[in-house]
Amino acid sequence: KQEVTQIPAALSVPEGENLVLNCSFTDSAIYNLQWFRQDPGKGLTSLLLIQSSQREQTSGRLNASLDKSSGRSTLYIAASQPGDSATYLCAVARIQGAQKLVFGQGTRLTINP
Amino acid sequence: GAGVSQTPSNKVTEKGKYVELRCDPISGHTALYWYRQSLGQGPEFLIYFQGTGAADDSGLPNDRFFAVRPEGSVSTLKIQRTERGDSAVYLCASSLRGAMDTQYFGPGTRLTVL
């Protein structure tokens, strides 16, 4: 059974800092991994999708890496801004049953002005 | 174009009642997914449609839950004899073809069972 863990559960940093969010998964037989952002009371917004054959993806100030063999992914946010405050979720699509995204519990990020 | 929409945004019902939650996916997306999210948790998979058929309903918790997608577009999640434990945010997502594509999520329906 695939389990996804995100540490820390909450993180508070001052504006302008670079930061890293962590995601680990137990089964390395994955199809892809996605990072999402969720604002309070809202749905999920896809940030980055990394296919299993890729090592990283970049979008603006965001960079996501994937190390399938160790079961880890990181989301790097450069030059954080108050508008980055949200809950960040990672989700894994397994090779068997790839349509079922398995989510971590999320990291609640607060950027202080 | 328009994203995934869900109605209602909030639904309050009494224990034992029947509810229907609607999802309108992105036009042209053949794959549709329902998830359930409890407070402080990540979403949990319920059911996946490819076209009109339920390709994987293994996440439905019991037979009180049922979902349809009769014309391969709009989907309805139906919950019979609601229980307080059904209270959660129900999220719908769609993707262009299936698992290899990004899933785009709607804003969710917050269901409260009193």
| A59 contact B CB<8A | no
Going by pLDDT thresholds of 50, 70 and 90, the confidence category of residue A108 is very high
8 Å CB contact of A103 and B42: yes
Q: Which of A43, A100, A103 sits opposite B59 (nearest CB)?
A: A100
Q: For residue A105, with 0-12 CB atoms within 10 Å meaning exposed, 13-18 middle and 19 or more buried, which class applies?
A: middle
Per DSSP bridges, beta strands B31-37 and B88-95 are antiparallel
Q: What is the pLDDT of residue A94?
A: 86
Q: Is the pLDDT of residue B1 over 70?
A: no
Q: Which two tokens stand for residue A7?
A: 């540490």
Beta partners for B3?
none
Chain B: give the shortest CA distance to residue A40, in Å: 10
Confidence of residue A42 (pLDDT cuts 50, 70, 90): confident
pLDDT exceeds cutoff 90 at A1: no
Per cent of chain A over pLDDT 70 is 100
CB contact under 8 A, A43 and B105: yes
Looking at the predicted structure, is the pLDDT value of residue A40 above 90? no
CB atoms within 10 A of CB A17: 12
How many angstroms separate the CA atoms of A101 and A33, rounded? 9
pLDDT at A109 over 80: yes
Q: What is the mean pLDDT of chain B?
A: 94
If one compares B7 and A40, the residue with the highest pLDDT of the two is B7
DSSP summary character for residue A85: -
Contact A93, A99 (CB under 8 A): yes
Q: What is the DSSP string of B71-102?
A: TSS-EEEEE-S--GGG-EEEEEEEESSSTTS-
Residue B63 has pLDDT above 60, yes or no: yes
Rounded to an integer, what is the distance from CA A38 to the centroid of its chain?
Answer: 11
Show the CA angle centred on residue B105, arms to residues B46 and B67, nearest 5°.
35
Cβ contacts (< 8 Å) between B91 and chain A: which residues? 43-44
Q: How many CA atoms lie within 13 A of B76 on its CB side?
A: 9
For residue A43, pLDDT over 80 is answered with yes
E-strand ranges in B1-114 read 5-7, 10-13, 19-24, 31-37, 44-50, 53-56, 65-68, 75-79, 88-95, 104-105, 109-113
pLDDT band at A53 (very low <50, low <70, confident <90, very high): very high
Degrees to nearest 5, angle at CA A83 with A101 and A38:
20
Q: What is the pLDDT of residue A95?
A: 82
Query: A42–B41: do the CB atoms touch at under 8 Å?
Result: no
Q: Answer whether residue A21 shows pLDDT above 80.
A: yes
In chain A, the residue whose alpha carbon lies closest to the alpha carbon of B107 is A43
Q: Count CB neighbours of B96 within 10 A.
A: 14
